[in-house]
Amino acid sequence: MTFYTFARAVSKGILKSIYRFEIEGLEHIPAEGGVLICSNHINNFDPPVVGFSIPRPVYFMAKEELFSVPVLGWAIRKSNAFPVKRGMSDRDALRKGLTILKEGNILGLFPEGTRSKTGELGKGLSGAGFFASRSNAMVVPCAIIGPYKIFHKIKVVYGKPIEITEMRKQKASAEEVTEFIMSEIHKLILENK
């Protein structure tokens, strides 16, 4: 058993004892090949929730500061997370994310870059558009609908893959692609509230 499998089982057990999860749309996630999961971000538990709800391993970008926290840094690195410097263009993190997708893996992203304090969907950063347009990965939107209150229902919905072939052909900017992805996440939230 890998550490990822172990951590995933532990987080699933703990979180499912606190919240009631309703997970929909897993059929929209391809069984193989590169997949970019783009989700809204309302709580620190969002990454493990996305991680345990998808049958395939998921890689995540995490803010660099977390990796210097004793024990936590080691655990998240072993759980398929890699560091990203926030507030600047981190070429190493962008390269790493592209490699993950090109090798046929799943990259989980929270395009807002940080948790929403209000629960409302914020503006997406250009990283999501960069990964979507520079790879051939399927782009799957995800809506996490809370709130995270003890014993309350948390709904996690994966939408149909977003069609961005035309945007790739037209060489749309990373910002434009991100905006389109965010509009699809927003639709998913509204349809499932």
Position 88 scores a pLDDT of 66
Q: Which residue has the higher pLDDT, 15 or 168?
A: 15
Does this model's pTM top 0.85?
Answer: yes
* Structure confidence by residue, pLDDT tens digits, 13-45: 999 999 999 999 999 999 999 999 999 999 999
Q: Which residue has the tokens 């391993």?
A: 57
* Structure confidence by residue, pLDDT tens digits, 124-165: 999 999 999 999 999 999 999 999 999 999 999 999 999 998
Q: What is the CATH number of the domain that holds 92?
A: 3.40.1130.10
Position 118 scores a pLDDT of 86
Which amino acid would we find at residue 89? S
The count of domains in the chain is 1
Residue 81: count of CB within 10 angstroms of its CB:
22
Domain range spanning residue 121?
Answer: 3-192
Burial class (CB in 10 A: 0-12, 13-18, 19+), 70: exposed
